Structure 1
Amino acid sequence: MCTVYEFWLSYNNNAERLQLPVNPSELSIGNGSQNETHSISRLGEITILQDPTLKTFDFSSFFPLFYAPFCSYKNIPKPWEAVQTIERWKKSGKPIRFIVTKTPINYAVSIEDFPYRENEDVGTIYFDLSLKEYPFINVRTITQSKNGKKAEVSKKAQRQNPKPATPKTYKVKQGQSLWIIAQKYLGSGARFKEIANLNGIKAPYIIHPNQTLKMPEKKG
């Protein structure tokens, strides 16, 4: 079955990857805010704008025991092996990456909840997955000398993956698009046309696994 979108989960900078064998019928994305509303005498109601909350992603699907025409690809994982993989990622306390190809969805996320079950279809595992956007932050630390007179302020990176160096060429991996490659290596998916122009790729910008692409320089 040829599907328009591919749902991917990856762990440890793509050291481990899992494509969902059956695309969810619905993807719920939460993108709220923490705005506060107050009533002030003689002024009426005012709203204090706050930073937006982190995005959330919720969907349901299943790991079938056997391949069927509704699957996104043929070599589907064994249901319990796929479940154990996601559980292991969740217990690690580290973020994973959630990607939906041909969309702007490409986020580092934490696995918030992963309930699963067997129904009457023995061997097939049904699951719900709740993900939350994972922010990478820098924390300032203060180091004080032994005599207590001098203090040195430094920045220590926490929960931050190193930015990958821009390669001169790049070999396309399964499930990737020009937008995803530009987002990962150039810092912005909007630069996908630079890669396309450099390699003579025209709309609809189709690329294939193991294809070698020339890469533009990363800005900034």
Structure 2
Amino acid sequence: MRIIAKEFNNPSNRLEFSWLPTEIKDNGGNVMFASYNLLDRGEFVRPSGNDLRKISWDGRFPGEARKEEPYLVSDWEAPEDCDDLLRQWASKRKKVKLTIENTNINKFTCYINNYSSTYTGGFGDIEYSIEWIAYKSLSVNVTKRSKTVKKQTKRAKKDYKTHIVKSGDTLWGIAAKYLGKGTRWKEIYKLNKSTIEKAAKAQGFKSSHNGHWIWPKTTLKLPKK
């Protein structure tokens, strides 16, 4: 039986545990429950999917004085080097592939979730405790926000256009040209009465005789066609 850990993106960076632990714990990824307390609504729990699988054990990296012991299952490595590598993987959240021969733990992709170690005894050993937690890819569905379309308030269209009176123009002729009927001249006069009468007085007349006379350069508003 061997325990081998390889860095996921750099397999040459590996560690083979020469001293096997007496027990390995595997939670198998059980159903996980989440607990919530919503203020005055009290506490409730609900299943929130499967818990991540965790593998853990307590072990020992033997000191140099034990390097020739027959119970070592692989070549001896300095315990300080083993300890440093595991601490690097833990602190830098390195993804690792863990294999424990003769078990169903084969190329188990994981992170080091917890790791602690201490020097012990007179042989230069380092005792450690380690827990590995399964790597799980996270897929995030991004919902695009719909763009808020600003409604542009269109300016109210004017009900009329304008016509600048030229020499020879009459309200009848203007009505026929723009409104399709000369008989609508009264609408033009009504809409422009003050303007036409003001122009008449400017020309020295008392009135325009209800639009009978109009003068060049007078701007007239035109009703809808």
- From 6, 26, 29, the equivalent of 2:23 is 26
Q: Which amino acid aligns with 1:56?
A: K
Q: Which amino acid aligns with 1:29?
A: D
CA distance in 1, matches of 2:33, 2:118: 38
Query: TM-score under structure 2 normalisation?
Result: 0.52
CA distance in 2, matches of 1:147, 1:28: 54
Secondary structure at 1:112 match in 2: strand
- From 56, 59, 80, the equivalent of 1:58 is 56
* Alpha-carbon shift at residue 145 of structure 1 (Å): 11
CA distance in 2, matches of 1:77, 1:148: 66
CA distance in 1, matches of 2:20, 2:114: 18
- From 11, 14, 19, the equivalent of 1:17 is 14
Structure 2 gap segments, 5+ residues each: 35-44, 151-225
1:20/1:144 CA distance change after superposition, 3 Å: same
CA distance in 2, matches of 1:9, 1:67: 23
* Alpha-carbon shift at residue 63 of structure 1 (Å): 0.8
CA distance in 2, matches of 1:34, 1:12: 27
Q: Which residue of 2 aligns with 1:119?
A: 120
CA distance in 1, matches of 2:46, 2:98: 32
Q: Which amino acid aligns with 1:80?
A: E
Q: Which amino acid aligns with 1:61?
A: G
* Alpha-carbon shift at residue 11 of structure 1 (Å): 0.6
Q: Which residue of 1 aligns with 2:70?
A: 69
1:53/1:121 CA distance change after superposition, 3 Å: same
Q: Which residue of 2 aligns with 1:91?
A: 91
CA distance in 1, matches of 2:23, 2:139: 35
Secondary structure at 1:102 match in 2: coil
CA distance in 1, matches of 2:24, 2:69: 22
* Alpha-carbon shift at residue 147 of structure 1 (Å): 10
CA distance in 1, matches of 2:76, 2:114: 23
Q: Which residue of 2 aligns with 1:128?
A: 129
Query: TM-score under structure 1 normalisation?
Result: 0.53
1:139/1:102 CA distance change after superposition, 3 Å: same
Map 1:189-208 to 2 at 5 A: none
Secondary structure at 1:138 match in 2: coil
RMSD of aligned residue pairs (Cα, Å): 2.9
* Alpha-carbon shift at residue 135 of structure 1 (Å): 0.5
CA distance in 2, matches of 1:148, 1:95: 45
**Same amino acid, percent of matched pairs:** 17
* Alpha-carbon shift at residue 8 of structure 1 (Å): 0.9
- Kindly indicate whether the alpha-carbon contact (under 8 Å) linking 2:25 and 2:57 is maintained by their aligned counterparts in 1: yes
